[in-house]
Amino acid sequence: MNIFLKEMKSHRKSLIFWSIGMFLMVASGMVKYESLASSGQPMNDMLAGMPKSMLAVLGIGDFDISTATGYYGLLFIYLLLMATIHAAMLGATIIAKEERDKTSEFLFVKPVSRNRVITAKLLSAFLNILLLNLVTFVSSVGLVGKFSNGEVVTKDIAITMVGMFILQLLFMVIGSSLAAIKKKSESAASLATGVLLLTYVISVAIDLNENIESLKYLTPFKYFEAKNVMFGGGFEFIFVLLSCVLIAVLTLATFLFYKKRDLNV
């Protein structure tokens, strides 16, 4: 409990900044929607004239961006990127920082097992990403609702947020397992964000080229895409299963490898 509280406290500031960032991201996106919607231009016609690859790179895809929820669907990928970068970095640094700051010679000579330390740290990281997710959810419902002209938005946003949370968890344990496995754990955070960017690039590549669609299992960004889960689409069982298995395996790896490894003192 003491380690958990200590971690919550030491990540409080960073969580507040990320939350503000998340809110501003949603707000600025929806303000842009408002100016587009009020300009009276038929946006869909304009987009229809653009090449498909360009739409794919911009993440616009098949959304009806003349509606508030459609526009939000477009915005979602950026929220997802932010939330997963936060999760990956948090997962890696919460484990690696004891060695980075040379505090491991303080913490690990206390009467606690390594498993207990990892449990406390992962629980703290879990609560951090949950809070960031809730901030995003509340900001999204509030701000999208404001521009939706009475359209019901909560349900569509909620389902994207559930998807986002699963991916946050996944990237958190990707980060933590890298920090647990690597001897030089300081580099785990940059490695985890590297993995994240790589999988994101793969997901964009799949949008550009339908021939490589089978690669979608390799990139979590394809698991719960807004365009698939919103508007009554829901989750695909295979991706939920795949995420759960990956999260379980990587969590286990975090515990096992950290327990066996020499601390970098």
Smallest separation, CB 119 to another protein (Å)? 13
In whole angstroms, the minimum distance from the beta carbon of 74 to another protein comes to 40
Instruction: Rule CB under 8 A: say whether 186 interacts with another protein.
Output: no
Tell me if 131 sits within 8 A of 19, measured CB to CB: yes
CB atoms closer than 10 angstroms to residue 78: 13
Q: Which of residues 224-263 bind another protein (CB under 8 A)?
A: 260, 262-263
Query: Is residue 110 involved in binding another protein (CB under 8 A)?
Result: yes
- Name the DSSP letter for residue 109: T
CB 72, CB 153: distance < 8 Å = yes
Q: Does 112 bind another protein (CB under 8 A)?
A: yes
Q: Under a CB-based contact definition with an 8 Å cutoff, are residues 171 and 58 in contact?
A: no
Smallest gap from residue 177 Cβ to another protein (A)? 20
* Residue pair 96/257 in contact by the 8 Å Cβ criterion: no
Options 112-120, 170-178, 200-208, 237-245: segment touching another protein (CB under 8 A): 112-120
Cα four-point dihedral sign 224, 230, 234, 236 = negative
Residue 103 or 154 having the CB closest to another protein? 103
Residue 111 phi, psi (nearest 5): -75, 60
- Tell whether residue 101 is a contact of another protein (CB under 8 A): yes
Q: Decide: is 44 part of the binding site for another protein (CB under 8 A).
A: no
Q: Would you tell me which residues interact with another protein (CB under 8 A)?
A: 2, 6, 10, 101-106, 108-113, 116, 260, 262-263, 265
